[in-house]
Amino acid sequence: MNSTWTVVKFTYLSRFRSKSFRVMSLILIVLLSVLIHLPTIMSKLSSHEATKIGVFAGKQAMVAEKLAAFYNTQANPEIVIIPLQDAGSAAANEALAKQQIADKKIKGYLEFTDTAVAGFPKAIYKSEGTMEFSLKNKLQTALQLVKTDVALQGAGIAPDQKANMQAPVSLETVQILMNNEGAAGKTESQMVMSYALVYVMLFMLYMGVIGFGNMVAMEITAEKSSRVMELLITSVSPLKQMFGKIVGICLLALTQIALSIAVGAVNLSLSSSSKLVSQLNLKWEDLQVSLIVYFLIFYLLGFFIYATVFAAVGSLVSRTEEVGQAIMPVTMLIVAAFMIAIFGLNNPNAGFVVTMSFVPFFSPLIMFLRIGMSSPATWEIWLSIVIQLASIGAMAWVAAKIYRAGVLMYGKRPTWRELRKAMRAYRV
C-alpha cells in the first residue's frame, strides 16, 4: 500500500508542478471567464440599432399602418418600419428601394401584392441578404398578429375582448415520474437547470477522460522510452504501479474540475452574469445536489474504465510520438459516447439511449444524462454502476497483464501472438 501511495504522490505532484499543467490551468481560467461573460461582451460591442425595413403599402395602407404601429408600441423594437412612397410601377419601386438600401437607410423592403392567401394579402420581403431566416420569422409573426387584428376588427370585437383573445396562453411544463408513483416530477425551472448542468458536465466528462486519459498513456510511454521502467518494475508490482499512476492523474483531473467550478462560481456571482442567469430562468435553489454526487460517481467510473485501457495501450508503444495513433480506437469510443449523449439530451428515454446506458464504455456519459434529463429507476442506476465496477475489475486484470508484459517490450510494437505469449508468462 505504501508503494502504491508513493506512485500516486509522485505522479500527482510531478504533474501538478509541471509548467504545462500551470499553463493549461491558466488558459482554462481565462477561457471559462470569457465564455461566461461572452453574452455581455457581445451585447456591449454589438450595435443596438433596430433593423430598418421599408414598406411599399400600395392598396394595403391599413396593413402597413398596423405593422408599423405594432413595432412602435414596443419599448425596444428590433424592427422599425419605414414607409416608402409608391413610385408608380414595380420597376420604379425596386429602383427606389435599391437606392435606399445602397444609402444604408433600410436593410430591405416589404411589398404587398394583390394576391390574397387565406384572406390576407401576400407579402414579399426583398434584401441583399441570403440567410435571413430570423428576420423572416419575426416579420411573419408580426404579420400574423396584424392579420388577426384586422379579422377581429372586421368582426366588430370590442377592444378589451380583442386584447384578451390576443394575449398568450399560460402553459407550464411539469415532468412526471413513470417509475415512482406519487413522487413529484421536475418543474420547468428545474428542468432548465438540469439541462444546463448536464450539458456542462457532459463536456467536463468528455474533456476530462480525453485529456487526462491521454496523459496516463503519455506518462507510461515516457517512462518506458527513458528506460526508467526497468528500475520501477523491480520495486513496485505492475498492478500497484499502473493504478498508482491512474489514481494520481485522476486526482489531478479532480483538482482541475474543482478549479473550474470555483472560477465558474466566481464569474457567475458577478452582476452581469447574474442578470444572464435570471434571463435564462435558472434558479440556484433548483440545483440538485444528487446530480452533482452522481456526476462525481460516474466521472470516476468513466475515468477508471478508460484510464485502464489507456494505460495498457501506452505500455505497448515505445515512443511518445506513437501514443496518439495507438489510443485512437479508444478515443473514438468516448467520442461516440459523447455524440449519443448530445442526441439523448432531447430524447433521453429513447430505446437506443436506454440500452447504451448499460454498456460499460458508454454508460458513464449516457446514464448520467438519463439521471439529469429523465427519471430512471433506482435499480437501473445501481445496475449501471455495478456493471461498470465489474468492467473496471475485468479491464484492470487484463490491463495489468498487458502492462506487465508490454512495458519491457522495446522496439517494434508487439504482435497479438507475442503479447499473448508474454501475458501467459506473468501473473498479476
What is the tens place of the pLDDT at every residue in 327-347? 788 888 888 888 888 888 888
Identify whether the C-beta of residue 314 lies closer than 8 Å to the C-beta of residue 218. yes
| pTM of the shown model | 0.68
Tell me how far CA of residue 63 lies from CA of 34, 55, 71, 125, 148, in angstroms.
45, 10, 13, 15, 11
What is the tens place of the pLDDT at every residue in 182-192? 555 566 666 77
What residues contact residue 273 under an 8 Å CB cut-off, 6+ apart?
36, 37, 40, 267
Closest CA to 68 of 110, 107, 116, 101: 110
| C-alpha cell of residue 287 | 440545483
Partners of 108 in the β-ladder: 53, 127
User: Quick one: how far is CA 333 from the chain centroid?
Assistant: 18
Task: Quickly state the pLDDT bin for 178 (edges 50, 70, 90).
Answer: low
pLDDT above 90 for 241: no
Domains and CATH numbers, the chain: 49-166 (3.40.190), 185-425 (no CATH)
- Cβ-based neighbour number of residue 390 at 10 Å: 11
- Cβ-based neighbour number of residue 403 at 10 Å: 28
What is the tens place of the pLDDT at every residue in 336-380? 888 888 888 888 888 888 888 898 888 888 888 888 888 788 889
The share of the chain scoring above pLDDT 70, in percent, equals 72
| C-alpha cell of residue 209 | 477522460
Strands 51-56 and 108-117 come out as: parallel
What residues contact residue 178 under an 8 Å CB cut-off, 6+ apart?
375
